[in-house]
């Protein structure tokens, strides 16, 4: 989330008219059935209710997150919405970015919170959180009726006037997007029809508001972060079949950002990362709904470029929330303020879209990289979330406070940890794609087929899929053979080895008539390898299979201000300088096994003999309270 912009844009007298709503000139704007959504042969996720997590680290984290969401009282969530709409409230306000004086208030309480409880309800059957969501919707419905214009927010329309007038304002449309997305999630995942009605009113208000400005005025307003307004309006169009929301979505497009990407040019240096990834998700949805190939080209180029040229090894990007360098030049950028967690959340969302068009395993490899290394581990035992992901040596993880922070990353984290099931399996026609190795059950009721995935992955180097069906089912099951595995990967059906296997980095398609009790055993050997920091061939990170390995540099600080940030600040105060990267005596062209030792594959324990100490090394997601280092400074053997 970008900080409040102090740029004082040119004031325009025309803005005085900004709050006059367009009349309901409404064109007959119902989309014909063939204009909306072109799934063609696109892969689709399964309905969230068909997949459940089995015991394991993901379900543990899901439950921790649910307990945190359950701890937030509805009256406190609704407080600033009620005040804004003129309804009295005596609830104790939440603080941080939900403080009654903060210009982002409502982004979590009426936005991320609704998305998170909707996802938790659909993904895990959490009925308590569903009823919490319904209560919040009911309260919001009362607020929007009191306002009576379709507008709904926890702050008054005055902030939008400031945006129009070029006065300093944080990000009103960013917050508005979160609320609309939360409402749509409550409709789509829990069937709350009031939520859709409120979202439609908000969509119309937004279109009427921004639609009256000249192109130049609008483009100037869009320099202020607006989240995924384009995405949520496309989603609203897809749900309601009303083309007017597609028109509204186009009002939130910025040629200055999209055109270079369409020309396959990386002009991202200087841009705020998490302001821009959601715009591409919106473009991806435009492709899916309109079929306009340009949006797909933009999305694919952007994603490939960020992953290849701007990501750190953990599968996330940015320094001080920005792309501060030319591509492939991350040298000198390791800091506390790397890799804002929201960016990981949004990159993974985009990966799901691009994968659904291409069935290319590279996107699910990338998804796995981010999931295991930049999402797992970013929640503590109380459900509190990280903001930055420090990558300079000697730092540690810090988290938001329960009720005094409410960062953007608190919100996207609450959503992420509620929806681990959404990408494990996809389908195309009657085919099943097994994308991720997470213990879970897919219950495909219409087809009378249950697929149970049993695995201790990543402690276990592979997975087992068990078929349950009351009748023989002819079907192709596609299993991802990840890029990180070796040529020794193998698959057995009912204990018999398949003679052929797909190359690492692709899907193995297994076509047969499946019988009840059939099993697919997938062996995916992991090995050590290294990746250099782009732009510095003397700085390396070690990986084992999909796991980024980190040096345990000993106990981190115990003082709470370094651990839990009790405010809207996103970096602990009085942060010490980073340490030097731990040094290893090796060269970039050496094999990783020459400097990293696998002590226990099943326990995922490793070690590295550094310059003056032997470092214990473990998967990064297992680092909890310790100081750590992800990167190593290589010293040539001669110098050592």
Interacting residue ranges for Zn ion, rule: CB under 5 A: 1, 340, 342, 408-409
CB 392 within 8 A of CB 336: yes
CB 540 within 8 A of CB 596: no
**Nearest distance in Å: CB 1, Zn ion:** 5
Q: Which segments of 315-407 are extended strands (E)?
A: 399-400
Would you say 230 or 412 has its CB closer to Zn ion?
412
State the distance between the two ends of the chain, measured CA to CA, in whole angstroms: 43
Would you say 271 or 498 has its CB closer to Zn ion?
271
Q: Which residues pair with 619 in a beta bridge?
A: 549
Distance CA 147, CA 372 (A): 44
DSSP single-letter state for residue 10: P
**Nearest distance in Å: CB 476, Zn ion:** 39
The first and second tokens of residue 617, run together, are 């090394």
Q: Which of 542, 60, 109, 570 is nearest to 339 (CA)?
A: 570
**Nearest distance in Å: CB 281, Zn ion:** 15
**Nearest distance in Å: CB 387, Zn ion:** 6
Would you say 349 or 480 has its CB closer to Zn ion?
349
Would you say 31 or 181 has its CB closer to Zn ion?
181
Would you say 50 or 224 has its CB closer to Zn ion?
224
Residues 6+ apart with CB under 8 A from 63: none
Distance CA 341, CA 463 (A): 28
Strand, helix or coil at 579?
Answer: coil
Would you say 342 or 465 has its CB closer to Zn ion?
342
**Nearest distance in Å: CB 416, Zn ion:** 11
Would you say 1 or 143 has its CB closer to Zn ion?
1
**Nearest distance in Å: CB 451, Zn ion:** 34
CB 88 within 8 A of CB 82: yes
**Alpha-carbon distance values, 446 to 41, 245, 430, 442, 450 (Å):** 19, 32, 11, 12, 10
CB 260 within 8 A of CB 323: no
Would you say 114 or 451 has its CB closer to Zn ion?
114
**Nearest distance in Å: CB 216, Zn ion:** 30
**Alpha-carbon distance values, 582 to 281, 539, 541, 555 (Å):** 38, 10, 11, 16
**Nearest distance in Å: CB 2, Zn ion:** 10
The first and second tokens of residue 550, run together, are 């980190």
Would you say 112 or 353 has its CB closer to Zn ion?
112
CB 111 within 8 A of CB 414: no
Distance CA 175, CA 104 (A): 6
**Nearest distance in Å: CB 378, Zn ion:** 11
């Amino acid at each position: 989330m970008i900080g409040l912009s102090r740029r004082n844009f040119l004031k325009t007298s025309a803005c005085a008219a900004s709050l006059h709503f367009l009349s309901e000139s409404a064109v007959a704007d119902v989309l014909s059935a063939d204009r909306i959504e072109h799934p063609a042969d696109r892969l689709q996720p399964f309905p969230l209710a068909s997949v459940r997590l089995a015991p394991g680290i993901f379900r543990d984290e899901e439950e921790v997150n649910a307990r945190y969401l359950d701890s937030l009282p509805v009256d406190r969530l609704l407080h600033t919405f009620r005040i804004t709409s003129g309804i009295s409230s005596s609830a104790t306000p939440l603080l941080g970015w939900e403080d009654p004086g903060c210009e982002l208030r409502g982004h979590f309480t009426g936005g991320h919170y609704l998305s998170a409880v909707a996802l938790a309800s659909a993904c895990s059957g959490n009925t308590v959180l569903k009823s919490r969501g319904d209560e919040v919707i009911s309260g919001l419905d009362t607020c929007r009726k009191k306002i009576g214009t379709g507008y709904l927010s926890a702050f008054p329309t005055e902030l939008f006037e400031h945006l129009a007038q070029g006065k300093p304002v944080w990000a009103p449309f960013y917050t508005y997007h979160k609320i609309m997305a939360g409402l749509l999630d409550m409709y789509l995942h829990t069937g709350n029809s009031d939520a859709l009605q409120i979202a439609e009113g908000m969509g119309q208000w937004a279109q009427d508001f921004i639609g009256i400005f000249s192109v130049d005025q609008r483009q100037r307003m869009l320099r202020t972060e607006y989240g995924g307004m384009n995405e949520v309006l496309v989603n609203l169009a897809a749900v309601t079949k009303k083309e007017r929301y597609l028109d509204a979505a186009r009002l939130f497009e910025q040629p200055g950002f999209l055109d270079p990407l369409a020309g396959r040019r990386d002009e991202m240096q200087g841009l705020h990362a998490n302001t821009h990834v959601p715009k591409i998700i919106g473009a991806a949805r435009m492709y899916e709904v309109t079929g306009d190939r340009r949006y797909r080209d933009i999305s694919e180029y952007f994603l490939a470029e960020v992953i290849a040229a701007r990501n750190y090894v953990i599968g996330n990007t940015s320094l001080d929330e920005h792309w501060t360098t030319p591509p492939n030049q991350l040298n000198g950028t390791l800091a506390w303020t790397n890799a804002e967690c929201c960016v990981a959340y949004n990159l993974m969302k985009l990966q799901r879209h691009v994968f659904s068009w291409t069935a290319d395993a590279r996107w699910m490899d990338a998804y796995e990289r981010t999931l295991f290394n930049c999402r797992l581990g970013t929640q503590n035992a109380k459900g509190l979330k990280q903001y930055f992901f420090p990558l300079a040596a000697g730092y540690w993880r810090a988290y938001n406070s329960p009720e005094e922070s409410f960062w953007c990353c608190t919100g996207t984290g609450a959503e992420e940890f509620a929806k681990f099931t959404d990408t494990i399996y996809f389908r195309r026609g009657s085919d099943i794609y097994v994308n991720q190795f997470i213990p879970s059950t897919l219950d495909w009721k219409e087809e009378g087929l249950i697929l149970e995935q049993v695995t201790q992955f990543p402690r276990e180097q592979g997975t087992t899929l068990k078929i349950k069906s009351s009748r023989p089912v002819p079907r192709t099951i596609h299993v991802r053979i990840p890029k990180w595995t070796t040529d020794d990967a193998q698959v057995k059906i009912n204990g018999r080895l398949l003679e052929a296997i797909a190359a690492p980095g692709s899907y193995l398609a297994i076509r047969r008539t499946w019988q009840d009790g059939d099993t697919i055993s997938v062996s995916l050997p992991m090995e050590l390898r290294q990746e250099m920091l782009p732009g510095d061939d003397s700085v390396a990170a070690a990986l084992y299979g999909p796991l980024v390995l980190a040096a345990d540099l000993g106990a981190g600080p115990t003082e709470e201000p370094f651990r839990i940030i009790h405010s809207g600040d996103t970096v602990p105060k009085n942060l010490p300088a980073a340490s030097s990267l731990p040094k290893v005596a090796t060269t970039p062209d050496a094999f990783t096994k020459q400097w990293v030792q696998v002590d226990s594959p099943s326990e995922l324990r490793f070690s590295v003999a550094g310059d003056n100490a032997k470092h214990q090394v473990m998967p990064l997601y297992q680092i909890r309270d310790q100081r750590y280092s992800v990167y190593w400074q290589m010293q040539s053997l001669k110098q050592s």
